[in-house]
């Protein structure tokens, strides 16, 4: 029997408290984080961390999070409970006995749309309905602002409003420019929006360990990733127990959960790609839709005729899903069942509101393969599939690369906007060089910040272990913080009307030697504090008007304060001197103006 000591990280971030902003129209409570700052108004920031950072929340992962959305769904009156698909041994990779992760204790009947209705946010938006989800994300995006803080930046055609209104959200969704991934069976969700005219978001990937993991461990991976800022989490688990683990994760997740259903389908056919079939895949989609997965990566853009285009590449096909489908296509010498049955996939997704993340199975895996024929051929197909999905009222985002040198990044965004009709772009990095294994969170943060600036709506994180091994807890945190800073740099450069508030608050703290505020306003207060304490551990140093780098004599900030005082005095003197010169000139006889 496994020890069930809870390992879930809870508690507020330093100097932070949870706020809930209520809706004007709907019964919603939108979570935000307020950072307390010395001698200034507190700073309210976006909060992806869910109830785990609310000291008032009772966390019991065996019960799951409160089903906040239950009432909203019921009120719409377009869904029905039903018995649901029977869970089979295959769903958990035939794990049994001690190796079987226990099922989530609360068994709940799944919901689906009545009839062949679309219960998607896109369908509602097109019908002119502002859902609670839409109002929720509108309030959330404004981070407590009531006006624009600054209008600056170059947005490359993105149009960020001063304040996001529920109606603006509705329009963006109706136009396909944004999605709210929100499966009707994920009632624990705190909705969030992915789109070019909103804050840039980040995704963190998690997956089960090779050794049997406890449910706590798996849930904790998600909790840890969102604590530091993960806006969505993809569960990329393979092998045993993935059904049960996914249940534990979704029931405890306030953020959208994405998956690649192909991974589980492949497990069901014992890892033989050729044995995959539409029937097995369809069964897996329904299984996961009933559990509440919010978005599916579907590699339907990998078409038979594109596969030879990858033969001359340096690194071939590097997407797992892409390579599995390519192998299937070649073996059967036909188009994939994903492509051929795409409309049926849409029919499933619209009944649960599972959003599409159309996978880039042919993304480049190295600098040399960037922006090649295969990559863009697939992108064009993803654009065609987008139209099919939209015709079925399904929400869509498009996955993008990968490995791309800086000068080829912009073309990716432009091609995507053009061929995918402004559906949100969701990229993995891109990595801007291949030569730094161990530092690929950084090689990719460069590309991520740039493509985010150009218009990518969500950035999939890369950890330091990319290409080398499985990320541990520290790697996940490093990846999340790195991507948060890249997304924020993108928001700043786009001219997001609220982004610079936090930079300015932190910089004021820095200039005024408010060390604690400087730590607390940063993305990772704990690490900042630890690093400071390594050199200047004493409490007294936290109020020191200098720091360990330069010491008091060389402290530019301290000297700047002196200068500011002196300059203000001088400004008065200069103004007087100027007046004197003006008056002097007035008394110079005509024709005798002084030389310059």
Q: Of the candidates 469, 545, 585, 588, which one interacts with a second copy according to CB under 8 A?
A: 469
Q: Is 38 in the site for a second copy (CB under 8 A)?
A: no
Q: Do residues 441 and 461 touch, judged by C-beta distance below 8 A?
A: yes
Q: Is 446 in the site for a second copy (CB under 8 A)?
A: yes
Q: Which stretch binds a second copy (CB under 8 A): 4-12, 71-79, 174-182, 316-324?
A: 316-324
Q: Which is nearer to a second copy, 107 or 553 (CB)?
A: 553
Q: Is 137 in the site for a second copy (CB under 8 A)?
A: no
321 among annotated binding-site residues: yes
Q: Of the candidates 215, 300, 367, 451, which one interacts with a second copy according to CB under 8 A?
A: 367
In whole angstroms, the minimum distance from the beta carbon of 483 to a second copy comes to 10
In whole angstroms, the minimum distance from the beta carbon of 324 to a second copy comes to 7
The CA distance from 174 to 331, in Å, is 40
Site residue total, a second copy (CB under 8 A): 115
Contacts of 227 (CB under 8 A, 6+ apart): 9, 13, 49, 52, 53
Contacts of 447 (CB under 8 A, 6+ apart): 404, 406, 409, 427, 429, 430, 431, 432
The CA distance from 120 to 126, in Å, is 10
Residue 273 main-chain phi, psi, to 5 deg? -55, -40
Q: Which of residues 172-231 bind a second copy (CB under 8 A)?
A: 210
Helix (H) or strand (E) holding 16: strand 16-22
Q: Which of residues 556-595 bind a second copy (CB under 8 A)?
A: 556-557, 559-564, 566-568, 570-571, 574
Q: Of the candidates 201, 485, 497, 546, which one interacts with a second copy according to CB under 8 A?
A: 485
Both tokens of residue 155?
A: 């947005």
Q: Which of residues 404-423 bind a second copy (CB under 8 A)?
A: 405-407
Q: Which of residues 228-257 bind a second copy (CB under 8 A)?
A: 238-239
Q: Of the candidates 117, 327, 341, 419, which one interacts with a second copy according to CB under 8 A?
A: 327
69 among annotated binding-site residues: no
Residue among 537, 532, 538, 501 at smallest CA distance from 41:
501
Q: Of the candidates 195, 365, 402, 424, which one interacts with a second copy according to CB under 8 A?
A: 365
329 among annotated binding-site residues: no
Q: Of the candidates 554, 581, 584, 588, which one interacts with a second copy according to CB under 8 A?
A: 554
Both tokens of residue 418?
A: 């053009």
Burial-class residue 236 by CB neighbours within 10 Å (0-12, 13-18, 19+): middle
Both tokens of residue 533?
A: 């304490």
Q: Of the candidates 52, 104, 136, 263, which one interacts with a second copy according to CB under 8 A?
A: 263
Interface pattern 370-389 for a second copy (x via CB under 8 A): --------------------
Burial-class residue 127 by CB neighbours within 10 Å (0-12, 13-18, 19+): exposed
In whole angstroms, the minimum distance from the beta carbon of 475 to a second copy comes to 9
Q: Which is nearer to a second copy, 6 or 271 (CB)?
A: 271
Residue among 500, 542, 505, 529 at smallest CA distance from 39:
505
Q: Do residues 279 and 344 touch, judged by C-beta distance below 8 A?
A: no
383 among annotated binding-site residues: no
547 among annotated binding-site residues: yes
Q: Which is nearer to a second copy, 4 or 535 (CB)?
A: 535
In whole angstroms, the minimum distance from the beta carbon of 510 to a second copy comes to 6
The CA distance from 268 to 117, in Å, is 30
Pairing relationship of beta strands 43-45 and 29-35 according to DSSP bridges: antiparallel
Q: What angle do CA 305, 306, 312 make, to 5 degrees?
A: 120
Question: CA distances (Å), 386 to each of 55, 117, 376, 399, in order?
Answer: 42, 19, 15, 12
555 among annotated binding-site residues: yes
Q: Is 118 in the site for a second copy (CB under 8 A)?
A: no
Q: Of the candidates 106, 109, 127, 468, which one interacts with a second copy according to CB under 8 A?
A: 468
Pairing relationship of beta strands 295-298 and 355-358 according to DSSP bridges: parallel
In whole angstroms, the minimum distance from the beta carbon of 137 to a second copy comes to 22
In whole angstroms, the minimum distance from the beta carbon of 468 to a second copy comes to 4
Phi-psi map region of 465: left, alpha, beta (phi>0 left; psi -120 to 50 alpha)? alpha
In whole angstroms, the minimum distance from the beta carbon of 15 to a second copy comes to 14
Q: Which of residues 506-525 bind a second copy (CB under 8 A)?
A: 506-508, 510-511, 518-519, 521-524
Q: Which stretch binds a second copy (CB under 8 A): 178-186, 250-258, 418-426, 501-509?
A: 501-509
Other CB atoms within a 10 A radius of the CB of residue 83 amount to 8
Q: Is 464 helix (H, G, I), strand (E, B) or coil?
A: coil
In whole angstroms, the minimum distance from the beta carbon of 332 to a second copy comes to 12
Contacts of 441 (CB under 8 A, 6+ apart): 461, 462, 463, 464, 466, 478, 479, 482, 483
Q: Which is nearer to a second copy, 328 or 352 (CB)?
A: 328
Q: Which stretch binds a second copy (CB under 8 A): 70-78, 190-198, 349-357, 365-373?
A: 365-373
196 among annotated binding-site residues: no
In whole angstroms, the minimum distance from the beta carbon of 184 to a second copy comes to 30
Q: Is 104 in the site for a second copy (CB under 8 A)?
A: no
Any idea which residue has 């059967």 for tokens? 332
The CA distance from 226 to 205, in Å, is 11
Helices (H) and strands (E) in the chain, counts: 19, 15
Q: Of the candidates 179, 183, 500, 516, which one interacts with a second copy according to CB under 8 A?
A: 500
Q: Which stretch binds a second copy (CB under 8 A): 9-17, 179-187, 392-400, 554-562?
A: 554-562
Q: Which is nearer to a second copy, 30 or 492 (CB)?
A: 492
The CA distance from 218 to 248, in Å, is 8
Pairing relationship of beta strands 79-81 and 194-195 according to DSSP bridges: unpaired
Q: Which is nearer to a second copy, 191 or 321 (CB)?
A: 321
Q: Of the candidates 495, 497, 498, 546, which one interacts with a second copy according to CB under 8 A?
A: 495
Torsion of CA 73, 79, 81, 86, to 10 degrees: -110
Q: Which is nearer to a second copy, 273 or 389 (CB)?
A: 273
Annotated binding site for [4Fe-4S] cluster: 547, 550, 555
Annotated binding site: 205, 234, 263, 299, 319-321, 360-363, 399, 403, 426, 467, 547, 550, 555
Annotated binding site for Zn(2+): 403, 467
Annotated binding site for substrate: 205, 234, 263, 299, 319-321, 360-363, 399, 426
């Amino acid at each position: 029997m496994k020890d069930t000591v809870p390992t879930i990280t809870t508690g507020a971030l330093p100097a932070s408290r949870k706020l809930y902003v209520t809706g004007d129209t709907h019964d919603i409570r939108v979570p935000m984080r307020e950072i307390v700052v010395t001698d200034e108004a507190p700073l309210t920031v976006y909060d992806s961390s869910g109830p785990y950072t609310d000291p008032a929340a009772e966390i019991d992962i065996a019960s799951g999070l409160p089903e906040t959305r239950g009432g909203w769904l019921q009120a719409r009156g377009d869904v029905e409970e039903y018995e649901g698909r029977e869970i089979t041994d295959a769903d958990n990779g035939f794990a049994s006995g001690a190796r079987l992760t226990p099922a989530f204790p609360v068994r709940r009947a799944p919901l689906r749309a009545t009839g062949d209705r679309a219960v998607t946010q896109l369908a509602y938006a097109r019908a002119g309905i502002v859902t609670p989800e839409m109002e929720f994300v509108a309030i959330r995006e404004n981070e407590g602002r009531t006006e624009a803080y600054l209008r600056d930046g170059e947005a490359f055609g993105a149009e960020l409003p001063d304040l996001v209104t529920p109606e603006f959200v509705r329009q963006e969704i109706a136009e396909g420019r944004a999605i709210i991934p929100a499966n009707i069976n994920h009632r624990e969700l705190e909705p969030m929006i992915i789109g070019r005219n909103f804050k840039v978001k980040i995704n963190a990937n998690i997956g089960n360990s090779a050794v049997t993991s406890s449910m706590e461990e798996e849930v904790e991976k998600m909790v840890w990733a969102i604590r530091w800022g993960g806006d969505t989490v993809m569960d990329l688990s393979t092998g045993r127990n993935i059904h049960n683990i996914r249940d534990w994760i979704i029931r405890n997740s306030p953020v959208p959960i994405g998956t690649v259903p192909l991974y589980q389908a492949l497990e069901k056919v014992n890892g033989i790609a050729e044995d995959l079939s539409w029937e097995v895949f369809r069964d897996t989609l329904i299984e996961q839709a009933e559990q509440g997965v919010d978005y599916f990566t579907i590699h339907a853009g990998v078409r038979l005729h594109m596969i030879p285009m990858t033969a001359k590449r340096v690194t071939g096909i590097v997407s797992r899903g892409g390579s599995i489908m390519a192998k299937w296509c070649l073996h059967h010498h036909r188009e994939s069942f994903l492509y051929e049955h795409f409309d049926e996939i849409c029919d499933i997704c619209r009944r649960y509101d599972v959003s599409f993340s159309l996978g880039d199975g042919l993304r480049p895996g190295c600098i040399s393969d960037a922006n090649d024929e295969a990559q863009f051929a697939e992108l064009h197909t993803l654009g065609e599939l987008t139209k099919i999905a939209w015709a079925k009222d399904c929400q869509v985002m498009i996955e993008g690369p990968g490995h791309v040198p800086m000068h080829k990044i912009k073309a990716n965004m432009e091609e995507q906007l053009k061929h995918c009709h402004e559906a949100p772009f969701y990229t993995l990095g891109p990595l801007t060089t291949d030569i730094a294994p161990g530092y690929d969170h950084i090689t990719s943060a460069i590309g991520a910040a740039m493509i985010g600036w150009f218009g990518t709506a969500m950035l999939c994180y890369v950890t330091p272990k990319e290409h080398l091994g499985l990320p541990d807890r520290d790697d996940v945190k490093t990846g999340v913080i790195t991507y948060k800073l890249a997304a924020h740099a993108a928001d700043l450069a786009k001219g997001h009307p609220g982004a610079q508030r936090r930079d300015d608050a932190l910089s004021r703290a820095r200039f005024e030697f408010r060390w604690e505020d400087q730590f607390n306003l940063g993305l990772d207060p704990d690490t900042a504090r630890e690093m400071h304490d390594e050199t200047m551990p004493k409490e007294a140093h936290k109020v020191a008007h200098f720091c360990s780098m330069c010491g008091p004599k060389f402290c530019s900030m301290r000297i700047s304060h002196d200068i500011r005082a002196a300059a203000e005095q001088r400004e008065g003197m200069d103004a007087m001197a100027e007046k004197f010169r003006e008056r002097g000139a007035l008394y110079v006889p005509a024709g005798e103006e002084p030389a310059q």
